[in-house]
Structure formats: structure tokens, C-alpha cells
Amino acid sequence: MIIPIAAIDLIDGKVVRLRQGDFSQQTTYSADPLAIALELEKLGFKRLHLVDLDGARAGSVQQLEVLQTLFRNTGLLIDFGGGVQTESEVERILETGARQVTIGSLAVHQPEKLQGWINRYGADKFLLAADVKDGYIVTKAWTTASQQQPADFLDFWQQQGVQEIFLTEVRRDGALAGPAIDFYRQLCQDFPTLQIIASGGVRGPGDVVALGEAGCAGVIIGKALYEQAVPRMRWIELLQKGTYAG
């Protein structure tokens, strides 16, 4: 089974998408994130991945007002992240209404800090993100390569009690080129008790089904929703099933 998760990426309060994490390859879809969120909820999405790209670039959270608006006006379960660096930001995100705080670069560069937050708030309050390029994790809005491989990242944080981790295959992100099915299948086989969420390259409902068959617990869908290359009825048909196993 696999749960589709809609994505809204924010720059200057607007809904945007980047191609392969490149800020110079930005497409703006709407100046009204609430309208987009309400439409996604109407389609049948239950979860929303809300990304503060300004925060990711600046190294501090910037878009809490948008989170507050979406929490107050939709029933979506929201994870929120982008530039989270301090415990006070974690507290503010959770108090503002996020179901989970999304943590990326900090989990690679300052694992002891995240471990402390997990001990205080619980592992279920965090959704970890690993962005992968050429077999290694990249950080800081996909601008900095690390020496850490995805399997090492998953193994370490699973031992810390983290339950959900999503991995973005950066070269496929925003490209509508299809997800890296074999990549996710291998990770799901290696970590069968971890909730692995796929991200990057999804073109339509067929890719969601394929990722579910590969073992993924969830899939984040972005550009495919905004480009409308797939008729909305096909998304509605998929989402109305509730769970998706092929």
C-alpha cells in the first residue's frame, strides 16, 4: 500500500516548483497557496508536504504564516520544513499546526542536535528527508554534496526510532521523467520495517502504483499535479480508493 502526498513548495509566499533543485529553474504556479491546498484536498489528498524554500536557502524558517493559514482552513495533515535549525523553530512549527517537522540537511550535518529533539518531542514528530544525487546525499537546498550514502542514512536514523523518511532523486525532481523505481525497491527490501517515501519524477497515477508495488509507504507528488498532464479525474479515481497497491 502507498499513500500519495501532495507537495506545495513556497518562495515569497507563492507556489513554485524547481527543476532538480535549481533555484534558477523556477516555475511559479500560484500566488495563493490556500487556493491550491483547498483544490488538492478536494481532489482527495489527505496529506500535504509543505516546503519553505526561502527557509532552506536562508537557513531559518520563513513561511510559518502560510502553514498557519493552511492548518486553519483545511483538514490536511501537514509536514513542514525548510531551514529548520533551532529547537524554538521546531516548537513554533508544531504549535502552528504541523503534524511533523521535516528535517533534511541538519540530519546529515548535526545529527546530535536532531537526536536531542527526538528525545524531547518523539520520533513521530519528525519526517526526515534525504536528497540523493549520483548515489550520495546532497544538502543545503541540494547545493552541497556529502559523503553519506542513502543506506547509511536510513540505517542510522532507523536506529534512533525515526519511522518515516523520504528520499528525493534530485535528477528526476521536477522533470516528469518517471521515478527511480529500482532505487526505491532496493531500499525497501533492505529496510522492510521503515516507512520509505519516494519523491521525484512522478508523472501520474501509474507511477504511484508502481512505487507501491516496489514497497514504498508513500509518494510525494508535485509537478505532475500542477502541469495537469494527467486528467484530474484519474487522480480522483486513484485517491478515492484510499490505499493503492496496484
Task: Determine the pLDDT at residue 246.
Answer: 34
Tell me how many domains the chain contains.
1
Does residue 245 lie in a domain region? Answer: no
Specify whether 190 is catalytic.
no
Three cell numbers written together for 88: 524554538
Task: Determine the pLDDT at residue 145.
Answer: 64
* Sequence letter at residue 57: R
Through-space distance between the first and last CA atoms of the chain, rounded to whole angstroms? 8
pTM of the model: 0.91
The band of 154, judged by pLDDT with boundaries at 50, 70 and 90, is very high
Specify whether 79 is catalytic.
no
Q: Which structural domain range is residue 182 located in? A: 3-239
Catalytic pick from 52, 79, 131, 173?
A: 131
Look up the CATH number of the domain holding residue 74.
Answer: 3.20.20.70
pLDDT in tens, 180-203: 999 999 999 999 999 999 998 898
Task: Determine the pLDDT at residue 244.
Answer: 43
How far apart, in whole angstroms, are the C-alpha atoms of residue 7 and residue 244? 18
How far apart, in whole angstroms, are the C-alpha atoms of residue 122 and residue 119? 6
Average pLDDT, the chain: 89
Does residue 130 lie in a domain region? Answer: yes
Overall size of the chain counted in residues: 246
The band of 224, judged by pLDDT with boundaries at 50, 70 and 90, is confident
Average pLDDT for 236-246: 61
Does residue 178 lie in a domain region? Answer: yes
User: Which of residues 232 and 44 earns the better pLDDT score?
Assistant: 44
How many other CB atoms sit within 10 Å of the CB of residue 189?
10
pLDDT in tens, 57-100: 888 999 999 999 999 999 999 999 998 999 999 999 999 999 99
Does residue 25 lie in a domain region? Answer: yes
Catalytic pick from 9, 52, 173, 207?
A: 9
Does residue 244 lie in a domain region? Answer: no
Task: Determine the pLDDT at residue 241.
Answer: 67
pLDDT in tens, 107-129: 999 999 999 999 999 999 999 99
Task: Determine the pLDDT at residue 245.
Answer: 37
Average pLDDT for 146-163: 92
